[in-house]
Amino acid sequence: MSSPADAQTGTTTEGAPAKLAPKDYRGRLKPVWCPGCGNYGVLNALVQALSDLEIDPDNLALISGIGCSSRLPGFVQGYGFHGVHGRALPVAIGAKLGNPRLTVLVVGGDGDGLSIGAGHFPHAARRNIDITYMMLDNRIYGLTKGQTSPTTPAGFGTKSSPRGVVESPMNPAGLALCYGATFVARGYSAHMPQLRSLIVEAIRHPGFSLLQVLSPCVTFGKGSGYDFFNERVQPLPEDYPADDPAQALVHSIDLQTIRTGVLYRGKKPEFVEVMRGIGGARGRELDDTAPAIDTEALVRRFS
């Protein structure tokens, strides 16, 4: 886990903080993914996007569950929380409600988000809380050595389904659309310029953002590797209107041409602002002029 205080911000000649370069968002820990893993591309695109947005690491929270992709918070400058399997979204919601100033990113895999964590996904989306959920989809359980995941294609043989998967794969982008997410996009770890742009757009969106990232597993995902995606992945047309959820759903379920880009962008009230309006989230007390909260008194009160 990395600490924001480790970032070397520097100053300009006028004394103002200098813009952080992508390398300044790198954590002290070195990535431990397999050589060629798609997650390296995601990490590179993420630090570039954070630099583009000029996000202060002191206001950045990265929440993850369990899995290969969930190691990512340790490789980035920010407040990292490596939680238990499938529980990243409720932790992220609590962090955002507790401190709305934070830029909250959630990162996890298809197994973490669509299997044990599947119950949290629809509620995070329908609440429209201002967090960005990057689901790194490698279509396999990589950390536990190659078992069937919720997005493994039907017929594909794995260690847990040696005769081939019989269930239909789940569709992260399609599910997010049906759950009412106001920003749904799909990227590919081998197309870093587009992925960088998508991360920027997802973070800027004032509401819940789902970014499904196709991130091949080179060790166990042999049927869903770079060759498979390179033949099928195409960006959405430049004139594609991202305001029609029905059209977005059609593109999300196309198995022959896997479309990347912003599938849908909509508007509805953001959850924290709604909760502030009814007194259910922190608001004015976060103002710089407000007195500090006596945390010791709170601990004594509830002990």
| Structure confidence by residue, pLDDT tens digits, 181-202 | 999 999 999 999 999 999 999 9
Arithmetic mean of pLDDT, 160-176: 91
Mean pLDDT value of segment 111-129: 93
What pLDDT is attached to residue 231? Answer: 95
pTM for this entry: 0.87
Percent of the chain at pLDDT > 70 equals 89
Asked if 190 and 230 count as a contact pair (C-beta separation under 8 A), the reply is: yes
Of the given ranges (25-29, 129-133, 267-271, 278-282), which has the lowest mean pLDDT? 278-282
What is the predicted pLDDT for the residue at 213?
Answer: 98
Q: What is the pLDDT of residue 160?
A: 87
Domain that holds residue 122: 4-302
Give how far Cα 71 sits from Cα of 18, 40, 217, 222, 282, Å. Answer: 28, 11, 15, 22, 30
Mean pLDDT to the nearest integer, 169-187: 96
Average confidence (pLDDT) over 83-101? 91
Spatial CA neighbour of 42 closest among 219, 203, 198: 198
Helix H, strand E, coil C: the string for the chain is CCCHHHCCCCECCCCCECCCCHHHHECCCCCCCCCCCCHHHHHHHHHHHHHHHCCCHHHEEEEECCCCHHHHHHHECCEEEECCCCCHHHHHHHHHHHCCCCEEEEEEEHHHHHHHCCCCHHHHHHHCCCCEEEEEECCCECCCCCECCCCCCCCCCCCCCCCCCCCCCCCHHHHHHHHCCCEEEEEECCCHHHHHHHHHHHHHCCCCEEEEEECCCCCCCHHHCHHHHHHHEEECCCCCCCCCHHHHHHHHCCCCCEEEEEEEECCCCCHHHHHHHCCCCCCHHHCCCCCCCCHHHHHHHHC
Encoded amino acid at 292, one letter? A
Supply the pLDDT for residue 291.
54
The yes-or-no verdict on residue 285 having pLDDT over 80 is no
Residue 58 has pLDDT above 90, yes or no: yes
Average model confidence (pLDDT) for the chain? 88
Band (284; pLDDT cuts 50, 70, 90):
very low
Structure tokens at 253: 């379920």
* Number of domains composing the chain: 1
Classify the C-alpha dihedral 54-86-249-127 as positive or negative: negative
Band (3; pLDDT cuts 50, 70, 90): very low
Residue 229, domain CATH: 3.40.50.970
Contact 187, 158 (CB under 8 A): no
Give the mean pLDDT of 43-63. Answer: 97
